[in-house]
Structure 1
Amino acid sequence: MFDFISAIILGIVEGLTEFLPVSSTGHMILVGHLLGFEGEAADTFKIVIQLGAVMAVFILYFKRYMAMLKDLLKFKFAEKKKLNAIHLVLAMIPALIVYLVFKDFIKDVLFGPGAVLIGLIVGGVLMIVASRAKRTITSEETDDITYKQAFGIGLFQCLALWPGFSRSGSTISGGLLLGTSQKAAADFTFMISVPVMLGATVLDMYDSREYLTSDDLVLLLVGFVAAFVVGMLAVVTFLNLIKRLKLEWFALYRFVVAVIFFFFLM
């Protein structure tokens, strides 16, 4: 598939970019292109190792997940001002449906450097629009988010199936446009990242099982561990950063990356 150094490099790239609205998948596709790491197995690798970084989020929000699981087992969903499992399910459904319907198109057409560069630009424009839009904040904290807002954020998450758009960039932008604070949108974005990426990993590994060898699985593990370790070091700092900095700064970074890689790759 490719060597261990490339696996570690991509794991580091994933761990550093997963928690910022800059598209970790897009960065891995661009870096993978420079490394000559492309193809069906490579695309699966770029999806699977994201779970490594996301597991850092699971550890960070462990108590919250356990509380939600406890409420789920007790069928406690009616409490006001409390995020629960239904919010997560509502946010997951749209992207899951779109992925199942268009997964071949996504991998065949959108997992290329040209599509990523366009995604970086268009996603950056969306972030600027969302940040500057006049709105009334109705959900200051994560527990204030309504079922309607959760589903709406899930619809915006569908944009993240286009590498370069960024899952966090799309969902935080959606949250802002739907009346949540940036802090609440960021928290909710990372709360739903664990079940979303777990599902994406399982589905993609199953779909790509015929392309994967035992050597590929070893390198998947190397990339997963690298992403997890770097993610653990970065998660708290970057989550605080994304809650405080305006989305325009991340959009500017995306534009710069798109321009630089345009001259490198085109």
Structure 2
Amino acid sequence: MWDLFVAIVLGIVEGLTEFAPVSSTGHMILVDDMLLHSKELFPASVANSFKVVIQLGSILAVLVVFKDRFIDLLGLRRRSGAAASTSKGGRLKLAQVIVGLIPAGIAGVLFEDFIDEYLFSVETVLIGLVLGGILMIVADKFGPRSPSADTVDKISYKQAFGIGLFQCLGMWPGFSRSGSTISGGVLLGMSHRAAADFTFIMAVPIMAGATLISLYKHWADFTPEALPFFIAGFISAFVFALLSIRFFLKLIQKIKLTPFAIYRFVLAALIAVFLYI
């Protein structure tokens, strides 16, 4: 039963932290590598595949929360002539999402091997936690008080591309994809809520693509013995991601980013204490 408990706890950690600007990688290191030690239950490849599977639970949660938005983006909703005309002029377009995905897509192709080989260490995660926190404080301090885009439907192609550039920072472990993109969106003239909405929408194709590729590479790890471990983690990640996304979207407009930045500094200090003292 211990393996199922570990799976559920890690799924909870993934669900609560994947889309909040606090670094799910940092939390996985603190909870798993230092406390639960999932790699002692299964081979390292299985433990790594598990972390990919629970990301699918988080992706499914985003699809549920933003289901109407994705239906509109994909053109699957039938509209009357007047409604369709209004929609074309005043709603987020799929092309804007694609523009936002381009920078990280190119950077991922160019630097994936370098990141996997040199940046996945506790030291780089600590650096990412601190630098990402500083960026979030800068966004709160210097972001415009009257955003040009107070909803995701008002963002421009220039803002979408700019957020895509900031998203590249999230490739550094510990920096946080959502932290970098929300901060970037605020600095580019978006409200905190609009930047968060666009961040979650962009996360789905990026995370889904990376997850499916990883699943294909590690399909042999899905043995009958490991399957309950995967299923328990997937379900807990989905449930808690669903709760945390809804809660975070209400919270971000009220408290902004600075409290999350302070939390990141505390988390970095805890990891450093566990490792070096």
CA distance change for structure 1 residues 245 and 171 in 2, over 3 Å: closer, same or farther?
A: same
Aligned-pair distance for 1:203?
1.9
Q: Is 21-30 or 96-105 further displaced after alignment?
A: 96-105
Computed over aligned residues only, the root mean square deviation of the Cα atoms, in angstroms, reads 2.6
The match for 1:244 is: 254
Write out aligned runs for 1:1-266 (5 A).
3-34=3-34, 35-37=36-38, 39-70=44-75, 79-135=88-144, 137-209=147-219, 212-214=221-223, 215-266=225-276
Aligned length: 264
CA distance change for structure 1 residues 30 and 162 in 2, over 3 Å: closer, same or farther?
A: farther
Q: Is 201-210 or 158-167 further displaced after alignment?
A: 201-210
Aligned-pair distance for 1:134?
4.8
CA distance change for structure 1 residues 111 and 68 in 2, over 3 Å: closer, same or farther?
A: same
Q: Distance in 1 between matches of 2:122 and 2:51?
A: 13
1:207-258 deviation line (CA, Å, top 9, x unaligned)? 4446x24144543332111100222233211221123212111000000011
How high is the sequence identity, in percent, across the aligned residues? 49
Q: Distance in 2 between matches of 1:47 and 1:170?
A: 21
The answer on whether the counterparts of 2:4 and 2:228 sit within 8 Å (CA) in structure 1 is no
- Please tell me the residue identity of whatever aligns with 1:67: D
Q: Distance in 2 between matches of 1:170 and 1:116?
A: 14
Q: Is 248-257 or 30-39 further displaced after alignment?
A: 30-39
Report runs of 4+ in structure 1 exceeding 6 Å deviation: 71-74
CA distance change for structure 1 residues 71 and 233 in 2, over 3 Å: closer, same or farther?
A: closer
Q: Distance in 2 between matches of 1:202 and 1:73?
A: 30
Secondary structure of the 1:10 match is helix
The answer on whether the counterparts of 2:126 and 2:268 sit within 8 Å (CA) in structure 1 is yes
Q: Distance in 1 between matches of 2:253 and 2:30?
A: 26
- Please tell me the residue identity of whatever aligns with 2:267: V
CA distance change for structure 1 residues 44 and 133 in 2, over 3 Å: closer, same or farther?
A: farther
- Please tell me the residue identity of whatever aligns with 1:30: L
Report the TM-score, using the length of structure 2 for normalisation: 0.85
Q: Distance in 2 between matches of 1:110 and 1:44?
A: 19
Q: Distance in 2 between matches of 1:85 and 1:223?
A: 31
CA distance change for structure 1 residues 216 and 25 in 2, over 3 Å: closer, same or farther?
A: farther
The answer on whether the counterparts of 1:52 and 1:225 sit within 8 Å (CA) in structure 2 is yes
The answer on whether the counterparts of 1:20 and 1:242 sit within 8 Å (CA) in structure 2 is no
Secondary structure of the 2:90 match is coil
The answer on whether the counterparts of 1:30 and 1:113 sit within 8 Å (CA) in structure 2 is no
Report the TM-score, using the length of structure 1 for normalisation: 0.89
Aligned-pair distance for 1:169?
0.5
CA distance change for structure 1 residues 73 and 163 in 2, over 3 Å: closer, same or farther?
A: farther
The match for 2:82 is: none
- Please tell me the residue identity of whatever aligns with 2:19: F
Q: Distance in 2 between matches of 1:216 and 1:114?
A: 30
Q: Distance in 2 between matches of 1:72 and 1:162?
A: 37
Q: Distance in 2 between matches of 1:96 and 1:207?
A: 19
CA distance change for structure 1 residues 110 and 46 in 2, over 3 Å: closer, same or farther?
A: farther
CA distance change for structure 1 residues 153 and 192 in 2, over 3 Å: closer, same or farther?
A: same
Aligned-pair distance for 1:171?
0.4
- Please tell me the residue identity of whatever aligns with 1:92: L
CA distance change for structure 1 residues 29 and 206 in 2, over 3 Å: closer, same or farther?
A: farther
